[in-house]
């Protein structure tokens, strides 16, 4: 839909008449508002927009958007989205999923969606917990997470959603925080990217996992704990007093001090969003020693699955007999007089 003449809509045009029913204070409210606020800036129409979700708290999302919406089954939203987009590539498809829906029960579909590069936006709400089923640990929960199903703490190691996405061959990988004002800009970049745009959104579950992201998401300390990546700009944080440089011995990033704003002297890396290796290093930085990388970490467009299928369908039809009667009567035949 990106090629169409921009259409004027307002926030109201994107709000359905349904009462929003997440827990008071849930991060989902902020994400919903950010999406509804961003849609008018994309120049698209509600009737050409489809929101598709799986199962979980986040997956109620489509009911609140005044667009076409399909609340499907647990983990399978990528499969339904694939059929929708292949059947009608003109539609603007958004997937809403969570850490359990998208990376546990639906992990396989997510892998294949990303490697195929179907043109759609994937918003993965990561709250590191199963909310709708009342608080069990999830595949992104940190080791030691105590939950109804892990009263002595979880022992399995979590998956990193963005590292998974890059490993699967994603061409657009970004990170955002539910309540952060930058989310809208990231959504716009995701929408502008043709192909599967994967956005991990750190989302606060106020009931079962409150403030799990607070160490890096808190506004008060954000300067020191967050590095926002901008293509062509140096990877700086702490008000420009620190940056990320390449440790060439270990082939990983390191935090360096920047004196007097001379980031070049400190060896700070300039963000290149087409550099997959850099993206991999950014998503794997352990928080604590490092800040958390946010924004568009990787964007390197490649042909989409839906366009490839459409092109092959057209090419394979050229010069072929379109007469079904001829098809059913072909092969070795004989006539009875």
Which of 58, 67, 140, 154 is the binder for another protein (CB under 8 A)? 67
**Residue with Cβ nearer another protein (5 or 333):** 333
Which of 29, 68, 179, 223 binds another protein (CB under 8 A)? It is: 68
For another protein, the closer of residues 111 and 258 by Cβ is 111
Q: How many residues does the chain have?
A: 337
- From candidates 6, 10, 25, 88, binder to another protein by CB under 8 A: 88
List phi, psi (to 5°) of 293.
-80, 130
- 42 part of the interface to another protein, by CB under 8 A: no
Q: Which residues contact 173 (CB under 8 A, 6 or more apart)?
A: 162, 165, 166, 198, 200, 279, 283, 296, 297, 298, 299
Closer to another protein by Cβ: residue 83 or 261: 83
CA distances from 326 to 320, 323, 334 (A): 11, 5, 14
The CA-based angle 201-193-251, given to 5 degrees, is 65
The answer to whether 6 touches 28, Cβ cutoff 8 Å, is no
CA–CA dist 84, 77 (Å, integer): 10
Q: Is 76 in the site for another protein (CB under 8 A)?
A: yes
Closer to another protein by Cβ: residue 143 or 308: 308
Nearest CB to another protein, comparing residues 66 and 99: 66
With CA atoms as reference, report the closest residue to 176 among 135, 204, 138. 204
CB of 16 to another protein, least distance (A): 7
Site for another protein in 181-220 (CB under 8 A): none
Residue 254 burial by CB count (10 A; 0-12/13-18/19+): exposed, middle or buried? middle
**Site mask, another protein, residues 97-136, x = CB under 8 A?**
-----------xx-xx------------------------
Residue from 32, 34, 35, 80 in contact with another protein (CB under 8 A): 80
- The residue among 31 and 50 lying less far from another protein, judged by its C-beta, is 50
Tell me if 139 contacts another protein by CB under 8 A. Answer: no
**Shorter beta-carbon distance to another protein: residue 222 or 309:** 309
Please choose, from the candidates 220, 216, 225, 166, the residue with its C-alpha nearest in 3D space to the C-alpha of residue 196: 166
Strand partners, 295: 175, 229
Q: Binder to another protein among 34, 91, 168, 297 (CB under 8 A)?
A: 91
Tally Cβ neighbours within 10 Å of residue 10: 11
User: Judged by CB under 8 A, does residue 57 bind another protein?
Assistant: no
321 close to 327: Cβ distance less than 8 angstroms: yes
> What is the rounded CA–CA span in Å between residue 326 and residue 218?
68
**Binders of another protein in range 290-329 (CB under 8 A):** 309, 312-313, 316-317, 320-322, 324-325, 327-329
| Beta-carbon-side half-sphere exposure of residue 160 (alpha carbons within 13 Å) | 18
**Distance of closest approach, residue 131 Cβ to another protein, in angstroms:** 16
Tokens of 305: 């699955």
Please give the residue ranges that form the binding site for another protein (CB under 8 A): 16, 18, 45-48, 50, 52, 55, 62-63, 66-73, 76, 78-88, 90-91, 108-109, 111-112, 309, 312-313, 316-317, 320-322, 324-325, 327-337
């Amino acid at each position: 839909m990106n090629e169409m003449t921009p259409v004027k809509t307002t926030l109201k045009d994107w709000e359905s008449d349904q009462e929003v029913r997440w827990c008071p204070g849930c991060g989902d409210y902020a994400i919903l508002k950010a999406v509804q606020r961003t849609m008018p800036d994309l120049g698209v129409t509600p009737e050409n927009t489809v929101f598709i979700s799986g199962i979980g708290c986040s997956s109620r999302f489509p009911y609140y958007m005044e667009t076409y919406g399909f609340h499907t089954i647990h983990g399978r939203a990528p499969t339904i989205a694939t059929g929708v987009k292949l059947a009608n590539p003109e539609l603007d498809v958004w997937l809403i999923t969570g850490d359990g829906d998208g990376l546990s029960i639906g992990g396989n579909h997510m892998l294949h969606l990303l490697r195929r590069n179907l043109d759609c936006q994937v918003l993965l709400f990561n709250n590191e917990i199963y909310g709708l089923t009342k608080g069990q640990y999830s595949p992104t929960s940190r080791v030691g997470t105590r939950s109804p199903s892990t009263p002595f703490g979880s022992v399995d190691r979590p998956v990193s959603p963005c590292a998974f996405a890059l490993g699967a061959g994603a061409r657009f990988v970004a990170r955002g925080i539910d309540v952060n004002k930058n989310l809208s800009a990231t959504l716009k970049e995701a929408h502008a990217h043709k192909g599967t745009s994967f956005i991990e959104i750190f989302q606060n579950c106020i009931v079962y996992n409150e403030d799990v992201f607070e160490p890096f998401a808190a506004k008060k300390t954000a300067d020191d704990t967050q590095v926002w990546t901008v293509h062509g700009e140096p990877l700086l944080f702490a008000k420009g007093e620190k940056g990320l440089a390449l440790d060439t011995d270990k082939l990983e990033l390191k935090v360096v001090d920047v004196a007097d704003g001379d980031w070049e002297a400190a060896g700070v890396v300039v963000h290149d969003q087409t550099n997959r290796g850099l993206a991999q290093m950014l998503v794997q930085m352990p928080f604590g020693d490092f800040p958390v990388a946010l924004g568009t970490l990787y964007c390197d467009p490649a042909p989409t699955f839906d366009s490839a299928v459409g092109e092959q369908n057209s090419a394979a039809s050229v010069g072929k007999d379109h007469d079904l009667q001829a098809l059913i009567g072909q092969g070795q035949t004989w006539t009875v007089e």
